[in-house]
Amino acid sequence: MYTGIVQAVRPLLDVAIYPGHRQFTIDLTPELLDELKIGASVSVEGTCLSVTEIHGTQVRFDAMNATLERTNLRCLQAGQGVNIERSAKMNAEVGGHLMAGHIATTAEVVELSIKDTGAFITFRVPPEWAKYVFPRGFLGVNGCSLTVADVDDGVVTINLIPETLRQTTFPRYKAGELLNIEVDHQTMVLVDVVERTLKGTLARQP
């Protein structure tokens, strides 16, 4: 589990492509390496990946094709930075909201605006997932726990504070690029239960 608070943006040193998967090599800081072991889970751009190799500060992760198809990891290139969060420890403060690192879908960036008066990002969520997104609700975007400002026909707007811009990869994203989206699990369960209940009620009506 993760808290949705990105700990650092770290450089992606290499992307190796193999049949069925890709291997990502990321340079981590001493703080992020603390007690890190093979098999440990780390959030990379919001995607839960397992450590496969550790060589000094260089840590490798494998992502299977099924993961690549569902996330924006397939778009990553060496030289870019990626959002990193170590898995949460017991009794750790949850500054964002609990996240699993299981990406539901990708969303296309519509606009990123960074001005002195404020910053925001808008992106289009596929219809089958947009039903789980509500104004003032939580949404995991590239591993960052964010509050939704507005939703209009599947286009989501989120305001970005200076600290979020400083601590994440959002500033490098451009219109047309993809973001990793993790919907709030409790919201998803609630919406699905209400949908099933309504369908069952309508089915029983004469």
pLDDT in tens, 34-67: 999 999 999 999 999 999 999 999 999 999 999 9
Residue 95 has pLDDT above 80, yes or no: no
Sign of the CA dihedral running 162, 163, 164, 170:
positive
DSSP assignment of 21-80 equals EEEEEEE--HHHHTT--TT-EEEETTEEEEEEEEETTEEEEEEEHHHHHHSGGGG--TT-
In this structure, are residues 12 and 24 in contact, taking their beta carbons and an 8 Å threshold? yes
DSSP β-ladder status, 138-141 and 118-124: unpaired
Q: Does domain 105-193 have CATH number 2.40.30.20?
A: yes
- Return the CATH class of domain 8-86: mainly beta
Query: How many whole angstroms separate alpha carbon 115 and alpha carbon 52?
Result: 40
Higher per-residue confidence, 133 vs 91: 133
The ranges assigned to domains in the chain are 8-86, 105-193
Write the pLDDT tens digit of every residue in 2-15: 999 999 999 999 99
- Judge if 8-86 and 105-193 fold alike in CATH terms: yes
Taking the model in full, what pTM does it have?
0.90
pLDDT digits (tens, 9 = 90+) for 160-200: 999 999 999 999 999 999 999 999 888 888 888 887 887 77
